[in-house]
């Protein structure tokens, strides 16, 4: 069963804080999918999560839109940041080293809807939406993610 929790009326700072909370619960082997339209806050969330894991609030975290994947070594475990916006098919996930990245640490995927069949079913999905000047986040995931939905 998938659990879902809604976080309404988030500022950009709130999105970053929520990402820090998610980082606290993230473990090696986890996949986190970031969904939402352009400008919804996916990059803000991704940067904040990676900075929280690295314990470096000034860490440069460029968007992997053109490289498709960027990896980061953190004190807890490695995290790979994938951006599937330009992906042509789910088969390309193998070429990008998705399975290896998942085996070696955690994986953060922007635009997971571009390759749903290549992603693990136990992932946590964060859907961000901009509405009336505020952001809304919906976290959805099975099993152990229920703890996170009550943060």
Claim: this prediction has a pTM higher than 0.85: yes
Q: Which domain holds residue 120?
A: 2-150
**CATH number of domain containing 121:** 3.40.50.300
Residue-averaged pLDDT of the chain: 87
3-state secondary structure of 95: helix
Among candidates 72, 84, 1, which has minimal Cα distance to 35? 84
What is the per-residue pLDDT across 81-125, written as a single tens digit (0 to 9) for each?
999 888 877 778 778 888 999 999 999 999 999 888 888 988 999
Give the distance between the most distant pair of CA atoms in the chain. Answer: 40
What pLDDT is attached to residue 94? 78
Count of structural domains within the chain: 1
């Amino acid at each position: 069963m998938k659990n879902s929790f809604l976080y309404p009326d988030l500022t950009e700072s709130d999105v970053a804080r929520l990402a820090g909370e998610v980082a606290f619960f993230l473990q090696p082997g986890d996949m986190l999918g970031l969904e939402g339209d352009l400008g919804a806050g996916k990059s803000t969330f991704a940067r904040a999560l990676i900075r929280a894991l690295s314990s470096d609030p000034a860490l440069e975290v460029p968007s992997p839109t053109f490289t498709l994947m960027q990896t980061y070594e953190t004190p807890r475990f490695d995290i790979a940041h994938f951006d599937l916006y330009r992906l042509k098919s789910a088969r390309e996930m193998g070429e990008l080293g998705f399975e290896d990245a998942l085996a070696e640490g955690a994986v953060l995927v922007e635009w997971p809807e571009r390759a749903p069949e290549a992603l693990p079913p136990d992932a946590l999905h964060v859907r961000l939406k901009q509405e009336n000047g505020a952001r809304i986040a919906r976290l959805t995931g099975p099993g152990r993610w229920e703890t996170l939905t009550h943060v």
